[in-house]
Structure 1
Amino acid sequence: MINLNYEYRIYPEPSQEETLLRWLFACRKVYNYCLAERKDWIKSRKSPVDQCSLVNEYIIPGDTKYPDYYYQKRQLTEAKKTNPELKEVPSQVLQEVVGKVDKAFRSFHNRGYGFPRFRKRIRSMVFPQFKTNPIIGNQIKLPKIGDIKINLHRPIPEGFVVKQVQVVNKASGWYVICTIQSEGDIPDPIPDLSYSSLGIDLGFSSLIATSRNEIIDRPKFLISLQSKLKSLQRKLKDKVKGSNNWKKACKKIAQLHEYIHRVRKDYHFKLSHYLCDQAKMIFIEAIDFKSWGRGMLRKHSLDFAFGAFVEILTLVAKKRDVYLLKVDKDYTSQTCPNCNTLTGKKDLNERIHSCSECGFTINRDVAAAMIIEQRGLLAVGQTVLQSVEDKGYGGKEQSLPSSSRRSRKSNS
């Protein structure tokens, strides 16, 4: 199955907007209640071995089962009897909220995320199922809401059906994210040694250095607007919290952050398409960008959002049938791309690679990109040869290009 997400701007009437806001408030109550119920059950099953709490204790019977997703979903029926505001919200929307809580706990246990927190505000809700197409003309029909005007700036592709709609309340207005689905599947790109290749080195001094000796400077999305953001935050500090002027100042700050996000995302897509125009195989380093976000240059790292860029590049590459591979990042800046000799560790202010063995001199980041390309071509060559052996094809083996020589291994 092929799944795509299309985002559109919607313009609800004042009465419809009031209803949507009430539903979001109800979703927040359900989310926090489900989270508190799980949190209380967990705390009732643990305590210090040498002391008891002097304030309170969570007294829950020992035979009480853990309030998992299915238990809390069944409890929604009982909750509607004592909470009339929940009756107005579609049942499937509330079930999706319970699913969010379950997903947060699964991410906490399985992926090492932090313990789920209570929400001050929920900005989105999901309508997971539609019997018919909710988009007709320039309107979208939502359950218990009715027809809402939609800016259908791009039509739904032929053969796709709307399976799910997420309503999002942003600083600039209301939006819907439509998940559309079609039969079939997008095949993964297949590597071939006859394809053109490109190695990419990501960094801070220069955003991208390619193996073709091209350097792209790093744009400064947040830093360029930092003075404006500080000015708005200083004005917010002088306002009375909760007043109308305070809410207006908060909205201006939120709109500025949303603008920065949109500009950054637009640049990510344009840069990804630009790189995919140059080659049919792209190789990048396998980097844990979370560590970059905690280092000395964390502000610059989070400003560009390297992890989000790699995700978008992966999406664009698959869409355009470009093979993308992540290779080992170790010693890319310490290896000579001409003779594969380890030149030793370089200081950050040393931006030129100069090999003492062969005399090869080039920009440090470009040299790293060339090493990345060589490692990628070597991995692709091994994949192609293994595929030939697995299929039992006879004939002559394909030889690797001269630029894909194996780099010298070092003990780490």
Structure 2
Amino acid sequence: MFNLTYEFKLKPTQIQAAMFEEWLEINRRVYNYALRERKDWYKSRSCQINACSLQSEYIIPIDTPRPTYASQCKSLTEAKKEYPDLKKVQSQVLQQTLKRLEVAFVAMWERNHGFPRFKKYGRMRSFVFPQMKGDRFKPGMVNFPVIGWVKFRQSRDIPDGGVAKLARVVKRASGWYVMLTVQWDVSVPSPLPHGEALGIDVGLTSFVATSNGLLVKRPRFFVDAERQLKLLQQRVSRKPHGSNNWHKAQKKVARLYEYVANCRKDWHSKLSHQICNNAGMVFVEDLNLIGLSKGMLGKHCLDAGFGQFFNILEQTCFKRDVYFQKVDSRKTSQICPSCGVKTGKKELSERTHICSNCGYTTNRDVAAAQVVVIRGLAAVGHTVKMLAEGKFVGIPVKQESPVL
């Protein structure tokens, strides 16, 4: 199976937009209620056996099972009898909200994410229709369960033969959007190593340095917009909190943030296509992006968007039949790509690589990119050797859903 996600801008009527807003609010309340139920259960199990808190204590019977996705879905059915507003939203949409909470707890346990937090008014931005069975599409229109036919701007055609499996309605500062996941009953193999190899080193001075000498300066999307953002946020702070003018000023701030994000994403997409033009294999560093975002230059690392660029580059490589792989990023700037000798740690102000052993001289970032491509080719050689020995059964099939 092969999945692709298409994003289109919706053009709902005023009644439909009001219904979207109402559904988001109901989903927010369900999410918060389910989170409170889970949090109370955990708090009741965290107190000491021989002592109680001086302020308050959560008392829940010892035989009460831990709230799970299945138990909360069952409770949701009973709650509809007491709260009629829950019947306005399709049952599967509410179940997907409970599943989102379950995913948040799994991420907390397995990936060391923080404890899930309550969502205040306006923080719930999307809801999901997990099934889109039947005739749900016609040119420029999509049929949502319960809501009905909604117009959207069909900026591109969806290839024939696909089946819509999921639809996510998203609210942004610029309007409403739908993300359609379409599935085709085909198996698409991942690209195999071939053609010219290209190593990429990313940084803040030069956003991209390639092994063939290309240097691309980093555009400062957020930094360039900070002055205007400061002005708009000052206008927000001067308005009475919660007033109509305050909401209008908040919307202008949100639109500026969305504009910056769109500019960054568009530039990343264009750069990824430029990199894939003359390459058969692309190798990048496997960086600790979370650690970079928490460092002294965290704001600039987040502004550069290294993680988003790697994701877009991987999707572009897959679409254009270019092999993509991440390699070890440790000490790429401390090794000479010509002779392999360790040259030692360089200061950030030192932008030229000069090898004391062989005399090889080049740009520091280009040298690091050349080390990346050497490591990538070594990993590819190991992979090809294992394929020849028959240790890999079949070719891995791409199962991701890139957003188009």
| Structure-1-length-normalised TM-score | 0.92
- Give yes or no for the alignment of 1:129 onto 2:108: no
Is the 8 Å Cα contact of residues 31 and 97 (structure 1) preserved in structure 2? yes
Q: Which position in structure 1 is the counterpart of 2:306?
A: 306
**C-alpha separation between the residues in 1 aligned to 2:361 and 2:50?**
66
Q: In structure 1, what is the equivalent of residue 257 of structure 2? A: 257
Q: Which residue of 1 aligns with 2:375?
A: 375
Quote how far apart the aligned CAs of 1:330 are: 1.8
Please, which moves more after superposition, 82-91 or 242-251?
82-91
Give the match's secondary structure for 1:207. strand
How many angstroms does 1:235 deviate by?
0.6
Supply the distance in 2 between the matched residues of 1:137 and 1:9 (Cα, whole angstroms).
14
SS of 1:155's partner is coil
Deviation larger for 332-341 or 37-46? 332-341
Superposition pairs of residues 78-93 of structure 1, within 5 angstroms: 78-93=78-93
After superposition, give the CA deviation of every residue in 1:104-153 in whole Å (9 maximum; x if it has no partner): 10111111111000011211111111221312122211122222111111
Give deviations 1:216-256, integer Å, cap 9, x for gaps. 00011111111000000011110000000000000000111
Taking the aligned partners of 1:358 and 1:385, their CA distance within structure 2 comes to 31
Normalising by structure 2, we get a TM-score of: 0.94
Unpaired runs of at least 5, structure 2: 393-404
Aligned to 1:336: 336
Provide the C-alpha distance between the structure 2 equivalents of 1:256 and 1:391, rounded to a whole number of angstroms: 52
Please show how residues 7-22 of structure 1 align to structure 2 within 5 Å.
7-22=7-22
**CA separation in 2, counterparts of 1:142 and 1:386?**
48
Q: Residue in 2 aligned with 1:408? A: none
Q: Does 1:111 align with 2:111?
A: yes
Partner of 1:398: none
1:245 paired to 2:245: yes
How far did residue 51 of structure 1 move?
Answer: 4.2
Match of 1:186 among 185, 188, 195: 188
For 1:314, the aligned partner's letter is E
Q: Does the C-alpha gap of structure 1 residues 71 and 346 become closer, same or farther in structure 2, counting only changes over 3 Å? A: same
Q: Cα deviations across residues 283-327 of structure 1 (Å, max 9, x unaligned)? A: 111111111101111111000111111111112112222111111
User: Which residue does the alignment assign to 2:164?
Assistant: 162
* Contact persistence 1:133–1:162 (CA under 8 A): no
Structure 1 match to 2:396: none
Q: Which residue of 2 aligns with 1:399?
A: none
Distance 2:305 2:47 in 1: 40
In the alignment, is the contact (CA less than 8 A) between 2:133 and 2:164 conserved in 1? no
Residue 403 of structure 1: aligned partner: none
Structure 2 SS opposite 1:353: strand
Return the structure number with greater relative CO, CA threshold 8 A, min gap 6: 2
Partner Cα distance (1:390, 1:14) in 2: 61
What amino acid sits opposite 1:327 in the alignment? V
Distance 2:295 2:193 in 1: 35
1:202 matched to 2:202? The reply is: yes
Change (3 A) 1:391 1:299: closer
Q: Secondary structure at the match of 2:156?
A: coil
Matched position secondary structure for 1:188: coil
User: Computing the radius of gyration over CA atoms, which structure comes out larger, 1 or 2?
Assistant: 1
Distance 1:345 1:91, change over 3 A: same
The letter for the 1-side match of 2:389 is: E
Match of residue 4 from structure 2: 4
Counting matched residue pairs gives 390
